[in-house]
């Protein structure tokens, strides 16, 4: 059965006009878009999404950034989708990201790093459910 993961094109990715480039990479690498919407998160919504990072020193700056403009939310589906998406994204810090990854090619900093991807099966379930209801996800 195809695995699902949550992808976010962050406000910097939308501002840089690379939505199409990013989706192209997913579709070219065996991932299918199963749900998609564009939203401008409130500060509270960003804080709820990143609640796991609430004790980190960068939490305030991160949630301000994530609510600074619209984002593209997607459920990606495919075999090994969680890891595949993480591979395509590259390391959190673009300076450490491998050549050819989304973050290496587009990100400006460890905070403004263009994309989010779930980091494991349990996180994926929480993150998909945070933004999408069952009838919004296409099988
Ligand atoms: P990832 O997005 O690669 O899973 P984390 O879950 O560790 O990375 O962090 C969540 C997000 O918080 C990152 O994508 C990035 O936007 C931001 N972030 C992580 N580490 C830092 C840091 N040291 N300084 C500023 N922002 C950070
Ligand atoms: Mg993470």
Q: How confident is the model at residue 53 (pLDDT cuts 50, 70, 90)?
A: very high
Shortest-distance atom of ligand 1 to CA 50: 10
Closest CA to 31 of 72, 71, 84: 84
- Give the whole-number percent of the chain exceeding pLDDT 90: 99
For 117, counting Cβ atoms within 10 Å of its Cβ (0-12 exposed, 13-18 middle, 19+ buried), the class is buried
| Total-model pTM | 0.98
Determine the pLDDT at residue 28: 98
**Which-ligand-closest: CA of 62?**
1
Confirm or reject: Cβ of 111 under 6 Å from ligand 1.
Answer: yes
Query: Do 73 and 38 form a contact (C-beta atoms < 8 A)?
Result: yes
| Interval 5-16 mean pLDDT | 99
Determine the pLDDT at residue 65: 98
Q: How confident is the model at residue 18 (pLDDT cuts 50, 70, 90)?
A: very high
How do residues 67-120 score in pLDDT, each as one tens digit? 999 999 999 999 999 999 999 999 999 999 999 999 999 999 999 999 999 999
Confirm or reject: Cβ of 92 under 6 Å from ligand 1.
Answer: yes
How do residues 54-79 score in pLDDT, each as one tens digit? 999 999 999 999 999 999 999 999 99
Tell me how far apart the 2 most distant CA atoms of the chain are, in Å: 39
């Amino acid at each position: 059965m195809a695995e699902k993961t949550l992808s976010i094109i962050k406000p910097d990715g939308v501002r840089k006009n690379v939505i199409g480039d990013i989706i192209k990479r997913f579709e070219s690498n065996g991932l299918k878009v199963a749900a998609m919407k564009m939203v401008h998160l409130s500060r509270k919504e960003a804080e709820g999404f990143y609640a796991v990072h609430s004790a980190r020193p960068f939490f305030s700056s991160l949630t301000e950034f994530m609510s600074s403009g619209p984002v593209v939310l997607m459920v990606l589906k495919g075999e090994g989708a969680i890891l595949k998406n993480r591979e395509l994204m590259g390391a959190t810090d673009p300076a450490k990201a491998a050549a050819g990854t989304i973050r290496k090619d587009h990100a400006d900093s460890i905070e403004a790093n263009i994309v989010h991807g779930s980091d494991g099966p349990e996180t994926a379930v929480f993150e998909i459910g945070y933004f999408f209801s069952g009838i919004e996800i296409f099988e």
